[in-house]
Amino acid sequence: MDNTPETMETKSRNIYEKFQDWILAKKNRLSHQKVDRSWREEDEYYTFNIGGFSGGTKDRPEFSARYYYEISQLIDVISEYDISAERSLEIGSGYGRVSPWIGRHSSDHYGVEPNSKVRKKSQKLYPGITWTGDRLPDLEFEQESFDLVVTWTVLQHIPPSLIQESIEEIERVTTEDAVVLICEETVGDAGSHTWPRSVESYKEAFADFTLIDHKTRTVEPTYPEHAGEIMIFKR
């Protein structure tokens, strides 16, 4: 057996490095588990966790990448369709991750979020936006209140028993020339809190609107699945 001090040092360095890899892998697994559990802790809402987001990215670099890709695409769609609003509404705004980017293209922007914990965050961070705690299918707004309505990964969490009513509620609060922009999961099996619906089924459900385009949602390249579609509807 070679027990020279140099060999012993190499051996212990190898063991140390393996141990470090093991700790890192364990930490990653734990952070995934923590993220995945959090939506259940939020009761019935599938929602964003403060500092991360449920069932989503596992660390800050991935979160930053997701944010970069999603916001770039949102800005591109807004610019391509020349979207600007007098009064706009984002339904299911979470802690306001996407909200200010929509608000930039509107004279008067509203965010609706039933989860008061995350809504309080957005209220503090974006005081120029009006926040309410409504919840689909019941919005406390008069009919034809908004010329732009956005849902970003929200309708996919509304159960089959409430989805048509929720879409009719969106139609009720929109003006005659409104744009509705939705970004939702479209493929895969239904889970305990997510119901992917095809573009075709959204097209049918938004009976008062015409689907003018749809694009695959772009997220970080390490995301393992299809991330859904952005759909643009006009009256």
Residues at the interface with ligand SAM (CB under 6 A): 45-48, 91-94, 97-98, 112-115, 118, 135-136, 152-154, 157-158
Asked whether the beta carbons of 186 and 227 are under 8 A apart, the reply is no
CB nearer ligand SAM, residue 70 or residue 147: 70
CB nearer ligand SAM, residue 41 or residue 177: 41
In angstroms, what CA-CA distances link 235 with 37, 78, 173, 232? 40, 17, 13, 10
Chain position whose Cβ is nearest to ligand SAM = 92
CB nearer ligand SAM, residue 4 or residue 192: 192
CA 49 centroid distance within chain:
12
CB nearer ligand SAM, residue 5 or residue 165: 165
In angstroms, what CA-CA distances link 13 with 3, 5, 9, 31? 14, 12, 6, 27
Asked whether the beta carbons of 166 and 135 are under 8 A apart, the reply is no
CB of 25 to ligand SAM, least distance (A): 27
DSSP letter for 97, please. Answer: S
CB nearer ligand SAM, residue 113 or residue 229: 113
CB nearer ligand SAM, residue 21 or residue 76: 76
Tokens representing residue 69 in the block: 């890709």
DSSP letter for 38, please. Answer: H
CB of 115 to ligand SAM, least distance (A): 4
Q: In what order do the strands lie in the sheet with 229-234?
A: 130-132, 106-112, 85-91, 146-152, 174-184, 229-234, 210-216
CB of 139 to ligand SAM, least distance (A): 9
Asked whether the beta carbons of 218 and 69 are under 8 A apart, the reply is yes
Straight-line distance from the first to the last Cα atom of the chain, in angstroms, rounded to the nearest whole number: 81
Alpha carbon distance 61, 55 (integer Å): 16
